[in-house]
Amino acid sequence: MNPTFTTPQDAEDAYYDALEEGDLPGLLAVWDDSDDISCLLPMQALAQGRAAVTEAFAQLLGHGRGIELSVTHLHWIETHDVAIHLVEETAQNTVPGGPPPLPVYATNIYRKDSRGWHLIVHQNTPPPPPPGLTPPRGG
């Protein structure tokens, strides 16, 4: 019953739409239905395999709200059955009046098989601190 994504971009669009809508089943349908998957959400331990990835996103969406990210493509590398998309994710639903959110790097890797394209790796990496801003230090 899972949707068939005919391009890596179809899968990526479905991923960020499902995140925004807080749609856990929709999000999990983008992930490859195998244990050959890995996910590194910001400042979390590696989630490896279907059960761990499901648990990581259940927690992420557990507050009942979606996560709206604007996504900028930085670099695409594609072979005939693997697509690597490096993007910047910037949170949109932030505190009014608060500081603008820093973009976070993400790499999304998709693999194609007879069922179409599905996500096999998602990895977030924090950006460096902005120039002139030192990171917080213990006092």
Select from 24, 52, 60, 82 the one that contacts a copy of itself (CB under 8 A): 82
Q: How far is the CB of 124 from a copy of itself (least distance, A)?
A: 7
Burial label for 43, CB within 10 Å (0-12, 13-18, 19+), is exposed
Q: Which one among 81, 92, 93, 94 touches a copy of itself, defined by CB under 8 A?
A: 81
Cα–Cα distance measured from residue 119 to residue 29, given in angstroms and rounded to the nearest whole number: 9
Give the binding range for a copy of itself (CB under 8 A) out of 11-19, 59-67, 71-79, 89-97.
Answer: 71-79
Which of 7/26 has CB closer to a copy of itself? 7
Contacts with a copy of itself, 100-139, as mask; x by CB under 8 A = -----x-x-x-x--------xx-xxxxxxx------xxxx
Q: Taking a C-beta distance cutoff of 8 angstroms, is the pair 74, 93 a contact?
A: no
Q: 12 near 100, Cβ under 8 Å? A: no
Counted residue by residue, the chain has a size of 139
State the Cα–Cα distance between residues 43 and 12, nearest whole angstrom. Answer: 22
Shortest separation between residue 49's beta carbon and a copy of itself, angstroms: 9
Q: Is 46 an interacting residue with respect to a copy of itself (CB under 8 A)?
A: yes
Q: Would strands 116-125 and 104-113 be described as parallel, antiparallel, or unpaired?
A: antiparallel
Beta carbons of 19 and 41 less than 8 angstroms apart? no
Positions touching a copy of itself (CB under 8 A) are 36, 38, 40, 43-46, 48, 74-75, 77, 79, 81-82, 84, 86, 105, 107, 109, 111, 120-121, 123-129, 136-139
